[in-house]
Amino acid sequence: MCGHGTYERVEPEGMEVRRWYCRSCHTTFSALPDCLACGVRGTLEEIEKIAVLAEASGKMAAVRFFFDSHVDPVIPWRFVRRRCGWMEGLLRMLPGLLPMFFGMEPTLADLRARLDSETALRDLREHCHEHLGSIRFPVGFRLPPRRWNPPRGPPTGAGHGSGPDGGSESVSQPTRPHGGPP
């Protein structure tokens, strides 16, 4: 392995992460600090704050606490809902991963009590260090599959020719009453 420079994270501002290159695999990877979330902006503590507040007071309370009232409410709602979903998935899988979490309630409050820590997500990385490749982001390093699929070869020629649409070859689409779904 050899050094491959650094890159600057968007959040927290000014944080630089070291990159490495593996000559045998021909790939690069990052040496992500324990405080940073994998695959998303920000730190694990920020994600934990949102999830703890949502767990204690409800997701709308977390939305109101972390975002201004002039922001479109759909965006913060999705932001909070995603982070809570990540934490719920993580908490459900922990008892099967390590025996020390067996019998644990799937809540961040119980995880914090088990680890005796206010920064449970960061401390969890220390307890699960050999499993980080199989744990999903933002705590582990397994990212979701990419949604974009590249084209697979040249076009088949099944498209329409150039010129205006219509004419005798066009097929009319049936209309639906009131423009609703079929």
Per-residue pLDDT of the chain (182 residues; tens, 9 = 90+): 888 889 888 888 888 989 989 899 888 888 888 888 888 888 999 899 989 989 988 888 888 877 766 667 677 888 888 999 999 999 998 888 888 888 888 899 999 999 999 999 999 988 888 888 888 889 988 877 766 666 666 656 555 556 565 554 544 455 545 554 55
pTM comes to 0.68
Partners of 7 in the beta sheet? 17
What is the maximum span of the chain, computed from C-alpha positions, in angstroms?
75
